[in-house]
Structures are given as structure tokens and as C-alpha cells.
Amino acid sequence: MIKEDCIFCKIANGQIPCNFVYETDEIVAFDDLNPQAPIHTLIIPKMHFETLEDINDIKLLGKLMLAVKEVAKIKNAKNGYRTIINTKKEAGQEVFHMHIHLLAGRPMLWPPG
């Protein structure tokens, strides 16, 4: 399902032009508009799910995690990378189409803000 007013649905389904870093029939990855690290790519399902809480398909969840590893390879994040899934408002989610952030290319701090 695609949600009409969802920016990531529009990107995933070609209504907004975007260079995909990675694409399968169910998943796409593209660079974040406002990168927080030298490498900052978003991995998303093409289908609309508001948050991680709304995905119960373990195959899709597995494919998303495998996609993270593929994107890390494509981006040559060989020294390591951080993955983040902001889930709901308090966690900082701003775009309500589930996405995984992949950040790399600089040392990461812990704990995160």
C-alpha cells in the first residue's frame, strides 16, 4: 500500500526523482537530504508502514537488515557504521514511513543524543 501524502512513498515509487543507492522489488535506499555524517543513507520498504511497530512481516524485516549490509558494502563503510530506527515522536521520528538510517564515515559518539 502507498500513502498519497507520504514523501517516502513518493520517492520509493518514482513520483519524486531520486538516485537510488540500492533497489529490490520491496526495498529502496537513497541518501539523506540532510546528512549527519559523510555517509548517511536511508533504507526503506517500498510499502507504507508508519513505524517499525507496524511491520510484523519477519521476512521483510530480515530483508531490510540484509539491505543495510548491502548498502554498507556499496558505500564502502568498511570501518563501521551505525544503524538507527527512530520509532515514534519521542525517539525523534519525523517522517512517518519506516526507515533505517545508516551512518558512517566518522567516529560515532555514545550515548546518542
Give the footprint of Zn ion on this chain (CB under 5 A): 3, 6, 8-9, 48, 97
Residue 11 identity (one-letter amino acid): I
Output 51 or 82, the one with its CB closest to Zn ion: 51
**Stretch touching ligand AMP by CB under 6 A, among 27-35, 48-56, 73-81, 104-112:** 27-35
Which of 40, 97, 99, 101 is the catalytic position? 99
Output 41 or 77, the one with its CB closest to ligand AMP: 41
Residue with cell 540484509: 66
Instruction: Please state, in angstroms and rounded to a whole number, the distance separating the CA atoms of residues 100 and 111.
Output: 18
Q: What is the b/e burial string over 22-31, where b = at least 16 CB atoms within 10 angstroms of the residue's CB?
A: beeebbbbbe
> In the chain, what are the helix, strand and coil shares in percent, each to the nearest 5?
25, 20, 55
Q: Which residue number is nearest to Zn ion in terms of Cβ?
A: 6
Rg of the chain, C-alpha, whole Å:
13
Write the interaction track for ligand AMP spanning residues 86-105; mark x where CB under 6 A is met and - where it is not. Answer: x-----xxxx----------
Q: Exactly one of 6, 7, 52, 61 binds ligand AMP (CB under 6 A); which one?
A: 7
- Catalytic site residues? 99
